[in-house]
Structure 1
Amino acid sequence: MRVAYFTNQYPKVSHSFIRREILALERQGVEVARLALRGWSDGLVDPDDLSEREKTHYLLRGGLGALLPATIRQLLSAPVSFLQGVRMALRLSRLSDRPAPYHLVYLAEACELVHWCRQQGVDHLHVHFGTNPAEVALLARLIGGPAYSFTVHGPDEFDRPLGLHLREKIEAASHVVAISSYGRSQLYRWVGHSHWHKIQVVHCGLETSFFDPPPSQPFPSTPRLVCVGRLCEQKGQLLLLDAVRRLRDRGEDFHLVLAGDGEMRRELEAFIAQHNLQAQVSITGWISSERVKQELLAARTMVLASFAEGLPVVIMEAMALGRPVLTTSIAGIPELVRHGVDGWLVPAGDVEALVETLSSALATPAAQLEQMGLTARARVIERHSIDTEAAKLKHLLPAPS
C-alpha cells in the first residue's frame, strides 16, 4: 500500500511532529508520499526539513491556472461525480468564513489531487488538520479519489466545528485520529454515534533519539524559566508577562525566556518596556530545534500559560529532557501533566493562580525539581514514543489489497 500525507504546508518549522510521524511509518514498512498545497519557498534551516521539501509535491506550485487541465479532465471523464463535487463544495461554503469561490478552488485542487494520486499509485490519503486540506480530501473522495483519514489537533477545529463542517468530513473519512482523549470527545459532539468507532486516539510522538540520556550536566541552579511557542493570543504570553510583573514587584528573583516569534511580538515588547521588565524577560525570536532544546535544558521549569491548545509537543519535549512543566489545565494537557507530580496545572486565564504557582515553583528546591523532571521524563517516554504511536496509525490503515 502507498499512503500520501497531505497538509496545507509542509515541511514547516512548527510541524516537525508530522515529519517524525512520516519517518516512523516508513521505518515500519509503509511507503509514504508527501503532498502539500504550499511550502516550496519557505525559509528553512533544519537539514531534515530541507530533505523533506525535496520529497514533497506541491499542488499549487504552478499557480491556480495549473489546476485547470485536471479540472477539465475530471469534468469530461466523470461529469456526474464532478457535479456532485460542485454541489458539495457549495454546501461546504455555508457557514464557512470563506465564500463559495474558495470552495470551488478546493474542488479544482481535489481534481489535481486525484490525478496525482492515480499517477503515483496512492491507495490512501492521510491529512493533518481538519481544515481546508481535509475538505480537499473529502471532495477528492467524492469525485473518485482514494479513501482518506485525517488527524485533528485542535484548537482551531474545536473553535469552528460548524464552519469547518467537521461532521461531513468525519462521515466521509475511513477513520479519524484525535491526539488526546479530550480531542476525541470534542469530535464525538459533532457526529452521530454510528461514526464514533472511526475516531481513535493516537498521540503525537517524539523520536527515540529525544529519549537518549540528556547531557551530563548539573540541574540548573539559577531561577530561569522558559516559555516556548508562537507569540500569539492563544498562547497566553501577555497574561504570563502580567504574572511575572507581579512577581518582580514582590521582589522575587527569576529570568523568563520567551522562545519564539509571532504576531504579538511588538505588543509583548511594548509591555516589557512599559513595565521595565527588560532585566526579567528576554525574547529570542525564531530559533532552531536544537536551540529550543538548549533553552529547555538551561531552565528549571518550562512555562506555558495557554488559553487554547491541543496537546503541545513542546510540553513533551520539556518532560523528555527532565524538566517539570507549569501549564494550564486545558484540552489534552492534564492527560499528560499531573499536578504536583510532573509539574503544575493552573486554571487558564487566572493570573492570580499563575502568580502563586510560579512563586511556588521558584521556591521549590532544585533537588525536588530534578526529581519531578525525572518522573516527567518517565511518563512521556511511556506515552509518547513515535514508533509506538506510528504502529497504532499503521494498524488503522486499510490492509493492502
Structure 2
Amino acid sequence: MSAKKMTVLQILPSLVAGGSERGTVDVAQALVQAGHRALVISAGGRMVNELHDKGAAHFTWPSDSKNPLTILANSQKLVAFIKEHQVDLIHARSRAPAWSVYLASKQAGVPFITTFHAAYKGKMPWKRLYNSVMTCGARVIAVSKFVSKHIAENYEITDWRIVPILRGIDLSVFDPAKITAERKEKFLQAAGVPAGVPMILVPGRLSPIKGQELTLRALAQVKQPFFAVIMGPDQGRVEYRNFLNDLAKDLGLRNKTSFLPGGDMPAAYAAATLVLSTSLVAEGCPRVPVEAQAMGAPVIATALGGTFETIKSGETGWLVPKGDLDALVGAINTALKMSPEERARMVRAGQAFVRANFDMKQMCAKTLKVYEEVLNEFKADK
C-alpha cells in the first residue's frame, strides 16, 4: 500500500494549540511530503493557516461538540464526506469526534485508528463508555509507555493493537544553532529581563493544573539572582491570570517576574538558564521538557505520567514530586548553582537524548507505517 497514494483524514476538536494539534499538523506535512493526500476536520483555530502552508486541506466542522445529536449529525455528514473525497483511512485524535468516526466508518466501509494523547480518567460507567471509543480503532497509538500501560490496564483491548509512538518535535525548528544573538536579545527585551540576570522560563497555558502558583511560591524562596518569565496564554482564564499577577506582587516577586501570552519559543528556550514545568496532573507526553532539552536549557519537571520518559533525572534534568514545594526550591537552587562544566555536560546529554527519542521525523514515519499496515490488512480482509 505504501506505493499507492493514500488519502488520510485526521479529525480532532480544534486547531487552536496543544500536543494533539501539533501532531496533526506534523503528520499532515509528512503525508504530503510522501506524496499522499492529507485532510483534516476540526472546529478551526490559529494553526489552520500553518496546516494549509504544509499542503493539507482543512474543513471546518463542529467536531469539538460533545452534544450527542451533533456527534450523530457529524457521523452522517462524514459518510458522505468519505465517499466524496475517497478517504482511505481516518485518524481520530479525540473522544467526541471519535464517536462520529466510529459510526461513520462502519457505514462507509473504511478503517480508522485513534491516538490516546492522555490517560483519560473515567471511574463512572458512563464516562468509561465515552472513553472506550478510543480503543475501537484498528490500531490505538499511545503517545508514551505511560499511556500504553493505562490503556492496557483500563480497557479490554488486545496488546498488539496498542502502538506506542513518542511525540516528536521538529528539530529543525528547535535547533540552538539557528537562534541568533539578535533573536535572543529581542525576546529578553520583550520579556523585560534585566541584562546579565539568569532567566527562568515557565512555559505553558495559564491554568491551575499547570502549577504556576506552586512555581511562584517556590521562586519566592530562591535567594540567588533570577528573573522568571511566565509564558503562555490565559485562554480566557482572566481571573486566574490576575490571581497570579497579584500573588507575584504579594510574594515580593514584582521586579523578578513578567507574564507573556506567547512569543518566539525557540528563542525563549535558548535564552533560558533554566526551564520549569510543574504540572499537577499526569500528562501523556509533555513537550516542554523535550523542547527545552533540545534547545540546551536544563529543565525541572514534575515526576508524573509521561514526564518520566522525557527526562533522565540528574542526567538531563530533574524530576521533583508533585506539589512538593521544598523539593522544587531545592532543585532550582541546585540548577542555578551548577558550574559551567556541569551545565555543559547536562546540556549535551539532554540534546543527545532528544535526538535519539523525540525526533518528529521518527514519529511521523512510525505513524505513516501504521497507516500502511492497517490499509494492507483492510485490503487483505476484503
Q: TM-score range by the shorter chain?
A: 0.7 to 0.9
Instruction: Give the direction of change, closer, same or farther, for the CA distance of 1:183–1:171 in structure 2 (3 Å limit).
Output: closer
The answer (yes or no) to whether the contact 2:201–2:268 under 8 Å persists in 1 is yes
The aligned residue for residue 266 of structure 2 is 293
- TM-superposed deviation, 1:154: 1.4
Residue correspondence of structure 1 range 103-118 to structure 2 within 5 A: 103-118=68-83
CA distance in 1, matches of 2:110, 2:345: 49
1:260 aligns with 2:229: no
1:283 aligns with 2:259: yes
Residue correspondence of structure 1 range 2-401 to structure 2 within 5 A: 2-10=7-15, 12=17, 15-36=21-42, 38-39=43-44, 42=45, 44=46, 48-49=50-51, 51=53, 55-60=57-62, 102-129=67-94, 131-144=95-108, 146-155=110-119, 157-158=120-121, 162=125, 163=127, 165=129, 168-192=132-156, 194-210=157-173, 212=175, 214=177, 215=179, 222-247=197-222, 251-262=223-234, 263=237, 264-285=240-261, 287-288=262-263, 291-308=264-281, 309-397=283-371, 398-399=374-375, 401=379
Instruction: Give the direction of change, closer, same or farther, for the CA distance of 1:152–1:161 in structure 2 (3 Å limit).
Output: farther
Write the letter of the residue equivalent to 1:261. P
The answer (yes or no) to whether the contact 1:303–1:327 under 8 Å persists in 2 is yes
Instruction: Give the direction of change, closer, same or farther, for the CA distance of 1:310–1:228 in structure 2 (3 Å limit).
Output: same
The answer (yes or no) to whether the contact 2:171–2:360 under 8 Å persists in 1 is yes
The aligned residue for residue 68 of structure 1 is none
What is the CA deviation profile of residues 322-363 of structure 1, one whole-angstrom value per residue up to 9, with x for unaligned ones? 111110111111112011110111001111111111111111
Write the letter of the residue equivalent to 2:166. H
CA distance in 2, matches of 1:45, 1:107: 26
- TM-superposed deviation, 1:133: 1.5
- TM-superposed deviation, 1:56: 0.4
- TM-superposed deviation, 1:151: 0.9
- TM-superposed deviation, 1:60: 3.5
The answer (yes or no) to whether the contact 1:21–1:205 under 8 Å persists in 2 is no
Equivalent pairs counted in the alignment come to: 351
The answer (yes or no) to whether the contact 1:181–1:332 under 8 Å persists in 2 is yes
Instruction: Give the direction of change, closer, same or farther, for the CA distance of 1:19–1:302 in structure 2 (3 Å limit).
Output: same
Paired residue secondary structure (1:256): strand
The aligned residue for residue 93 of structure 1 is none
What is the CA deviation profile of residues 336-392 of structure 1, one whole-angstrom value per residue up to 9, with x for unaligned ones? 201111011100111111111111111112332232112111111111111211121
Write the letter of the residue equivalent to 1:252. Q
What is the CA deviation profile of residues 25-84 of structure 1, one whole-angstrom value per residue up to 9, with x for unaligned ones? 332343221112x11xx4x389625636982011249x99xxxxxxxxxxxxxxxxxxxx
CA distance in 2, matches of 1:152, 1:381: 23
Paired residue secondary structure (1:35): strand
- TM-superposed deviation, 1:139: 2.2
CA distance in 1, matches of 2:145, 2:18: 26
Identity over aligned pairs, percent? 23
What is the CA deviation profile of residues 276-334 of structure 1, one whole-angstrom value per residue up to 9, with x for unaligned ones? 3111211111x24xx11111111111111111222112222111111111101111111
The answer (yes or no) to whether the contact 1:321–1:377 under 8 Å persists in 2 is yes
- TM-superposed deviation, 1:4: 0.3
CA distance in 1, matches of 2:162, 2:302: 26
The answer (yes or no) to whether the contact 2:15–2:47 under 8 Å persists in 1 is no
The answer (yes or no) to whether the contact 2:298–2:346 under 8 Å persists in 1 is yes
The answer (yes or no) to whether the contact 1:167–1:190 under 8 Å persists in 2 is no
CA distance in 1, matches of 2:306, 2:152: 15
CA distance in 1, matches of 2:253, 2:168: 36
CA distance in 1, matches of 2:268, 2:50: 21
The answer (yes or no) to whether the contact 1:134–1:169 under 8 Å persists in 2 is yes
Paired residue secondary structure (1:104): helix
- TM-superposed deviation, 1:166: 5.9
Write the letter of the residue equivalent to 2:198. P
Instruction: Give the direction of change, closer, same or farther, for the CA distance of 1:392–1:345 in structure 2 (3 Å limit).
Output: same
What is the CA deviation profile of residues 228-275 of structure 1, one whole-angstrom value per residue up to 9, with x for unaligned ones? 10010111111111111122xxx3321111111222212211211222
Instruction: Give the direction of change, closer, same or farther, for the CA distance of 1:360–1:391 in structure 2 (3 Å limit).
Output: same
CA distance in 2, matches of 1:368, 1:360: 11
What is the CA deviation profile of residues 112-146 of structure 1, one whole-angstrom value per residue up to 9, with x for unaligned ones? 111111100001100223x2112221222344453
The answer (yes or no) to whether the contact 2:40–2:56 under 8 Å persists in 1 is no
Write the letter of the residue equivalent to 2:274. T
CA distance in 2, matches of 1:232, 1:301: 21
